[in-house]
Amino acid sequence: MRFALWGRKRRDRELQEEIETHLTLAEREEMELGRTRKEAAFAARREFGNVSIAEETTRDVWGSRWLGDFFQDLRYAIRTLRQRPSFATVVVLTLALGIGANSSAFSLVDSAFLHALPFHEPERLVHVWTTDAAGDLHTPSPAEYLALRETSKSFEQVSGAGWKRFFYDNAQSSGQSLLGLVITPNWLPTLGINPLVGRNFLDEEQISGREAVVMLSHTCWRTRFHSDPGIIGKKINLDRRAVTIIGVLPQSLGPYYEDIDLFAPLVLDSYKENGEARSGKVRVQIVARLRPGVTLDQARSETEVIAQQLREHRPAADRSGHLVIEDFAETFRHSGPTRQNAQRGMRLTACAATLVLLIACANVASLLLGVALRGTRRLRCARHWAVRAAAWSDSC
Amino acid sequence: MSGQKGYQNRTEILQGTLDMLILQTLQWAPRHGYALSKAIRTNSGEILKVDTGSLYPALHRLERKGWIAAEWKKSEVGPRLRVYRLTPSGTKHLLAERSRWEKVLEAISGVLNPAKNESEA
């Protein structure tokens, strides 16, 4: 490619020189006819016409040259490959294996490490986990959520979310189960996301009896409601009661909360009422936003105090009920206790895939070498043309 | 000289014949672009005007097709010149073009002078 460009530049220079010479010669002749230098130059230019257009059209003649050369090379390559189908198959398969392994490993790494989060100042976002007796991470209980929300000073926002299945009924279909995320009204502000259309939940909508409102994910709005622009205010039948659609969330949320169709209010007072009976089963995913200037360590020590108060009646050696604060992005890379293994595994996979590609290239190179050593046919052909070219240039 | 008048009387070269005229003119001797355009003008009795805007594209196109070859030559008067010469395949092409052109001329004159043809028939 560089050679082609270089050749092109040289050709351009030479063309300019050629036309310049033409003008000089014409000018000289006009001067011999008795014109002044200025008149001669003018006459020569007029006779020639537009220089840059002439240059441009000449360049066009050469323009597709390297494309032509490229196609010639391509034809040659295809011919050669067709002459040796088994060789071609082996090379294609080897390279396909190497490239395929690499691209899949890269897409893993890409989704895990390289994608920026579409949230406002994601470095201030944290996830809060609780621990079980074995010290593994789990989603906190509603009590832990409420304690953190009410007493902590390190966080600007502490929001909660939980998974829930909804039964969706409409006139056309016989009823479907939709995946929903029940969220506190501050969940969207914590992430720094605004609904695409409509509004977020209000505080009073997390009280049971007033929570008959729902927001749709972008995908759900597009696929189930055909991107209906007048969707806000419509009522749909969820869990056998009429629920009003109040908003649609932006597409950027998609990759992080995949497969979620609906967002509904997280009703907290039902936890309060049923308190202990349900707290063992219901869990609240906590997403919190650190106050500006508060470090992760400061938040951790404060949270540990809060957790301590909640655990007071339990023995000190008990490893459950510790609140663990984790960088939000980390969680999205891999949630759960095996995340570090997964990360290490992913790096290894990427390295292995690169190695596979290198091995594939080495194999193809040695195959080509073998073919070249045996490929005397082509050499003979090249020699034939070289001899002919030499003979021809001698004769001229 | 017939200068100004010659300019006005000159005719644009017929579409598709410039290549042939260039090849024909180069048959006698290698020439650079300016000399070539002058030669065509002179040989046509100052009638055919070679539009330089199409001369250089034509030269480079013919070079690409391998019918002519170019070479930079030092001239005694100063700037170096890009001199074109006919290649063997160019000669072959010129012959083919000439016979085609003669057929076209014959056909056109046949159309222009139908009486002659009819009387022969």
CA torsion angle for A26, A29, A35, A37 (degrees, to 10)? 60
CB atoms within 10 A of CB A225: 16
| SS3 state of residue B66 | coil
Query: How sure is the predictor about A277, in pLDDT bands with cuts at 50, 70 and 90?
Result: very low
Task: Give contacts of A57 with chain B, Cβ < 8 Å.
Answer: 53-54, 56-57
Q: What is the mean pLDDT of residues A7-14?
A: 78
The owner of tokens 């009204």 is A185
pLDDT score of A395: 57
Cβ–Cβ under 8 Å, residues B49 and B11: yes
pLDDT at A335 over 50: no
Q: What is the mean pLDDT of residues A164-169?
A: 86
Best of A8, A20, A21, A35 to mutate (most B CBs within 10 Å, chain B): A21
Query: How sure is the predictor about A2, in pLDDT bands with cuts at 50, 70 and 90?
Result: very low
Instruction: Choose among A24, A26, A54: nearest Cβ to B56.
Output: A54
Among the ranges given (A190-199, A324-333, B68-77), the one the predictor scored with the smallest mean pLDDT: A324-333
Instruction: Choose among A18, A28, A396: nearest Cβ to B33.
Output: A18
Task: Give contacts of A24 with chain B, Cβ < 8 Å.
Answer: 78-79
Best of B26, B52, B73, B86 to mutate (most A CBs within 10 Å, chain A): B52
pLDDT in tens, A218-240: 888 988 888 888 889 988 888 88
Q: Is the pTM of this model over 0.90?
A: no
Tell me which H or E stretch contains B95.
Answer: helix B88-112
pLDDT score of A245: 92
Q: What is the mean pLDDT of residues A137-142?
A: 84
pLDDT at A14 over 80: yes
User: Rounded to whole angstroms, how far apart are CA atoms A154 and B5?
Assistant: 96
pLDDT at A68 over 80: no
Angle subtended at Cα A324 by Cα A321 and Cα A325, rounded to the nearest 5 degrees: 150
The ipTM value here is 0.77
Q: What is the mean pLDDT of residues A242-259?
A: 81
Among the ranges given (A301-305, A358-362, B12-16, B99-103), the one the predictor scored with the smallest mean pLDDT: B12-16
pLDDT in tens, A103-114: 888 887 766 665
- What is the percent of chain A where pLDDT is above 90? 7
pLDDT score of B92: 92
pLDDT score of A196: 87
pLDDT score of A318: 67
The pair of structure tokens assigned to B88 is: 């063997």
Instruction: Choose among B34, B69, B78: nearest Cβ to A22.
Output: B34
User: Rounded to whole angstroms, how far apart are CA atoms B28 and B35?
Assistant: 12
Q: Which residue has the higher pLDDT, A51 or B33?
A: B33
- Residue B91 CA, chain-centre distance (Å), reads 13
Tens digit of each residue's pLDDT, chain B (121 residues): 344 444 445 566 676 788 899 999 998 889 988 889 889 888 888 888 787 778 888 898 899 888 999 988 887 767 788 999 999 999 999 999 999 999 988 999 999 987 655 555 4
Instruction: Classify strands A241-248 and A213-216 as parallel, antiparallel or unpaired.
Output: parallel
Cβ–Cβ under 8 Å, residues A159 and A187: yes
Directed axis angle between helix B33-43 and helix B18-28, to 10°? 100
CB atoms within 10 A of CB A161: 22
Exposed e or buried b per residue across A266-290, where buried means at least 16 C-beta atoms within 10 angstroms of its C-beta: bbbebbeeeeeeeeeebbbbbbbbb
Task: Give contacts of A18 with chain B, Cβ < 8 Å.
Answer: 32-33, 56, 82
pLDDT score of A372: 74
pLDDT score of A50: 80
pLDDT score of A382: 66
Residue type at position A130: T
Exposed e or buried b per residue across B5-29, where buried means at least 16 C-beta atoms within 10 angstroms of its C-beta: eeeeebeebeeeebbbbbbbbbeee
pLDDT at A387 over 70: no
pLDDT at A35 over 70: yes
Angle subtended at Cα A44 by Cα A38 and Cα A47, rounded to the nearest 5 degrees: 140
Angle subtended at Cα A139 by Cα A135 and Cα A144, rounded to the nearest 5 degrees: 95
pLDDT at A3 over 60: no
Instruction: Choose among B53, B69, B80: nearest Cβ to A57.
Output: B53
pLDDT score of A247: 92
Inspect the interface and report whether the beta carbons of A54 and B79 lie closer than 8 Å.
Answer: no
Task: Give contacts of B62 with chain A, Cβ < 8 Å.
Answer: none
